[in-house]
């Protein structure tokens, strides 16, 4: 393979750095740095750097006062116009010559672009599928160029994979996340016939920022380009009373905290909605600067597009949520919109009605109840959500439980079954003739039917929030976890439990059938009476 002198110089520099690492650092740390370094620096990365170095031969004469500028070209060196570029505070577009320029904000330390719909999502390299669309500002350097690769064909049909809260706190949990969640996602992506893109909805780690690099590598083990948003546990707890600084460690690994990109006829926006003011203190909301940035970003988006906004902490109807109304109000004129959140460790499809009418999809955690089991606090299995998109509509969405087939959407129990251990027992406090159905992805348009001995009996309606005795029985009764934090009270209760009183108490076969809003049918007849599947797959 032909390698230019530029690449040779880069490779020689890497070799010198590696030699230093091997001779001056302990073996374990050397391996970590080696993996992290080569996870970000491969031949294709160096070739990309060379392209951008070649672009520097194009002279840019910025207007007076413009101190951040650059050139965006395609893989053939042709300029790309109308690309939105930002420093995190303001947004501009490239002109017909592919040039952008702006007055850099005093606090800005990064520059990035919003990937246009007809170009590929750039990723770190062939081994790490982390979306890579930014550059860190360096000293007095004012020019930053980017190269885009045009898609072979438009992607108006694609699939979104949303991952809530991996929240790893140790190398062992990173390994488990890789072996369980990412292996499951890899299998899904490999067997799916549409382009897939991932959104990781915050709390990548659980206050262990030293795991950021290994999580970036682990999340990138599929061929699916993925994007991330910052969560409360991703902030630097050693930084007090400075929300901006508390996000810098995360940004150094994963990129900007507020950004956008485009796929097909959908505009995606990521927002950091954790306003961090202390070691463990934070509020949810959007700063005035974020609202201004969002207003500018959306000004370049056609109103006939779908807009998907994703962030960490759910909006719901929280009155104390700073600038909630302003953020939602900016979405009202677009053809359609959807919201994506994590944070809760339970699953809910919440309908927001004011100031716009839209779904907020609150995602169960990939780690479930903090890696203590196979469950979230509300009984939802550890897993992730899948959304199939065509044009500006969701044509399908479902929850994929880790290590279970796609059609596993319901868990059944008898109402008097008791679950627990040395630290207590819990039940649904219903008679044995009541069937409890936890249907975690249900929304108001689902049709839930009960059958006895093959005969249709009745439709079921969702109950008010209930304690999922299966989940609480294991987390509290067996593991002695805190009742209020593990679904025994408060918001961690289940919001998707359905009850059926048997017409025939002696029925030999009982079936609950769920039909979702897209016509997919899910059936369950097995009654769970022990905690085996709560502890292990």
The side-by-side arrangement of strands in the sheet containing 226-228 is 123-125, 128-131, 226-228, 196-200, 157-163, 383-390, 393-401
Helices (H) and strands (E) in the chain, counts: 12, 31
Q: How far apart are CA 147 and CA 92, in angstroms?
A: 17
- Determine, yes or no, domain membership for 24: no
Instruction: Let me know whether 134 and 246 are in one domain.
Output: no
Question: What's the DSSP call for residue 238?
Answer: T
- What pLDDT score does 39 carry? 43
Is 210 within a domain?
yes
Report the pLDDT value the prediction gives residue 317, as an integer from 0 to 100. Answer: 78
Q: Are residues 454 and 481 in the same domain?
A: yes
pLDDT higher than threshold 50 for residue 24 = no
Distance CA 90, CA 292 (A): 8
Spell 266-293 as b/e; 16+ CB within 10 A means b: bbbbbbbbbbbeeeeebebbbbeebbeb
For 363-400, what is each residue's pLDDT tens digit? 999 999 999 999 999 999 999 999 999 999 999 999 99
Q: Which residue has the tokens 């005093």?
A: 106
The pTM of the full predicted model, rounded to 2 decimals, is 0.90
Residues 113, 194 share a domain:
no
pLDDT average, residue stretch 203-223: 98
Residues 256 and 384 grouped into a single domain: yes
pLDDT mean over 27-38:
42
At residue 40 the predicted structure's pLDDT band, cuts being 50, 70 and 90, is very low
Please state the separation of Cα 218 from the chain's center in Å.
14
pLDDT of residue 506 exceeding 80: yes
CATH code, domain with 512: 2.60.40
* pLDDT at 453 (0 to 100): 99
pLDDT attached to residue 52 = 55
What H or E segment, with its residue span, contains residue 22? helix 5-24
What are the helix (H) ranges across 367-438?
none
Domain end (from 357, 374, 401): 401
Q: Do 457 and 386 belong to one domain?
A: no
Q: What is the CATH number of the domain that holds 128?
A: 2.60.40.1120
Q: Which of 88, 87, 71 is nearest to 79 (CA)?
A: 71
pLDDT band for position 27 (cuts 50, 70, 90): very low
Residue that wins the pLDDT comparison between 7 and 201: 201
**Residue 128 is assigned to a structural domain of this protein:** yes
**1, part of any domain:** no
As a whole number of angstroms, the distance between CA 465 and CA 488 comes to 11
pLDDT at 145 over 90: yes
C-alpha separations of 199 from 252, 261, 383, 386 in Å? 18, 12, 13, 10
Q: How confident is the model at residue 49 (pLDDT cuts 50, 70, 90)?
A: low
Per DSSP (E only), the strands in 353-427 are 358-362, 383-390, 393-401, 411-414, 419-421, 424-426
pLDDT digit string, tens, across residues 85-98: 999 999 999 999 99
Same domain? 128 vs 221: no
Predicted pLDDT of residue 490: 74
With tokens 């609950």, the residue in question is 512
* Predicted pLDDT at 147: 98
Considering the domain boundaries, does residue 29 fall inside one?
no
Average pLDDT value over all residues in the chain: 91
The domain total for the chain is 3
pLDDT > 90: what percent of the chain? 85
Question: What confidence category does residue 31 fall into, taking pLDDT thresholds of 50, 70 and 90?
Answer: very low
Question: 337 and 431 share a domain?
Answer: no
Domain match, 416 and 394 both? no
In a domain, 17, yes or no: no
From first CA to last CA, the distance across the chain in angstroms is 47
Looking at the fold, whether 279 and 343 belong to one and the same domain comes out as: yes
Q: Is residue 35 part of a domain?
A: no
- From 122, 148, 174, the end of a domain falls on 148
269 and 350 part of one domain: yes
- Answer whether residue 505 is part of any domain: yes
Residue 7's pLDDT band (cuts 50, 70, 90): very low
Residues 141 and 231 in one domain: no
Interval 11-29 mean pLDDT: 40
Task: Count CB-CB contacts under 10 A for residue 465.
Answer: 17
Residues 387 and 457 grouped into a single domain = no
Domain boundary among 367, 401, 435: 401
Is the sign of the CA dihedral 371, 274, 162, 82 positive or negative?
negative
User: To the nearest whole percent, how much of the chain has pLDDT over 70?
Assistant: 89
Q: Each residue of 276-304: pLDDT tens digit?
A: 887 668 999 999 999 999 999 999 999 99
Measured between alpha carbons, how far is 481 from 8 in angstroms, rounded to an integer? Answer: 56
Q: Indicate the pLDDT class of residue 53, thresholds 50, 70 and 90.
A: low
Average pLDDT of the residues in 220-246: 95
The per-residue pLDDT for 524 is 99
Task: State how far the Cα of 473 lies from the Cα of 480, in Å rounded to an integer.
Answer: 9
Give pLDDT, residue 56.
64
Above 90 in pLDDT, residue 43? Answer: no
User: How confident is the model over 308-348, as pLDDT tens digits?
Assistant: 999 999 999 777 899 999 999 999 999 999 999 999 999 99
Contact status, residue 174 vs residue 215, Cβ threshold 8 Å: yes
Give the domain CATH number at 326. 3.60.21.10
The domain containing residue 458 runs over which residues? 411-535
């Amino acid at each position: 393979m032909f390698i230019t002198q530029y690449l040779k110089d880069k490779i020689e520099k890497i070799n010198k750095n590696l030699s230093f690492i091997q001779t001056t650092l302990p073996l374990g740390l050397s391996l970590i740095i080696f993996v992290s370094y080569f996870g970000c620096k491969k031949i294709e990365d160096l070739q990309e750097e060379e392209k951008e170095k070649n672009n520097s031969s194009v002279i840019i004469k910025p207007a007076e006062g413009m101190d951040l500028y650059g050139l965006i070209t395609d893989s053939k060196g042709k300029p790309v116009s109308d690309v939105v570029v930002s420093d995190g505070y303001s947004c501009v577009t490239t002109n017909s010559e592919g040039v952008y320029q702006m007055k850099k904000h005093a606090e800005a330390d990064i520059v990035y672009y919003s990937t246009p719909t007809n170009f590929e999502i750039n990723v770190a390299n062939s081994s790490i599928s982390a979306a890579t669309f930014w550059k860190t500002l360096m000293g007095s350097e004012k020019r930053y160029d980017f190269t885009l690769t045009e898609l072979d064909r438009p992607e108006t049909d694609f699939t979104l994979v949303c991952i809530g809260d991996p929240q790893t706190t140790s190398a062992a949990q990173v390994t488990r996340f890789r072996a369980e969640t990412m292996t499951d996602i890899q299998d899904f992506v490999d067997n799916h016939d549409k382009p897939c893109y991932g959104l990781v909805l915050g709390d990548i780690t659980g206050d262990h920022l030293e795991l950021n690099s290994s999580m970036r590598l682990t999340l990138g083990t599929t061929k699916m380009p993925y994007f991330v948003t910052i969560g409360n546990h991703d902030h630097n707890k050693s930084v007090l009373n400075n929300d901006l600084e508390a996000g810098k460690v995360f940004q150094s690994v994963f990129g900007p905290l507020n950004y956008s990109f485009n796929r097909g006829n959908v505009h995606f926006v990521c927002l950091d909605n954790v306003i961090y003011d202390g070691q463990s203190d934070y509020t949810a909301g959007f700063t005035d600067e974020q609202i201004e940035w969002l207003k500018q970003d959306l000004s370049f988006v056609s109103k006939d597009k779908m807009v998907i906004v994703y962030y960490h902490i759910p909006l719901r109807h929280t009155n104390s949520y700073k600038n909630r109304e302003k953020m939602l109000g900016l979405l009202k004129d677009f053809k359609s919109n959807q919201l994506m959140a994590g944070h809760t460790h339970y699953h809910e499809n919440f309908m927001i009605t004011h100031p716009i009418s839209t779904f907020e999809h609150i995602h169960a955690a990939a780690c479930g109840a903090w890696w203590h089991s196979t469950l979230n606090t509300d009984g939802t299995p550890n897993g992730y959500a899948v959304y199939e998109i065509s044009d500006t509509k969701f044509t399908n969405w479902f929850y994929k439980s880790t290590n279970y087939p796609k059609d596993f959407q319901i868990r059944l129990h008898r109402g008097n079954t008791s679950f627990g251990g040395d630290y207590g027992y819990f039940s649904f406090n219903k008679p044995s003739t009541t069937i409890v159905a936890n249907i975690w992805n249900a929304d108001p348009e689902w049709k839930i039917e009960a059958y006895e001995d093959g005969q249709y009996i009745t439709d079921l309606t969702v109950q008010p929030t209930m304690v999922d005795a299966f989940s609480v029985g294991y987390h509290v009764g067996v593991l002695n976890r805190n009742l209020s934090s593990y679904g025994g009270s408060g918001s961690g209760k289940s919001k998707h439990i359905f009850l059926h009183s048997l017409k025939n108490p002696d029925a030999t076969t009982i079936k609950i059938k769920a039909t979702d809003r897209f016509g997919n049918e899910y059936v369950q007849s097995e009654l769970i009476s022990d905690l085996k599947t709560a502890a292990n797959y």
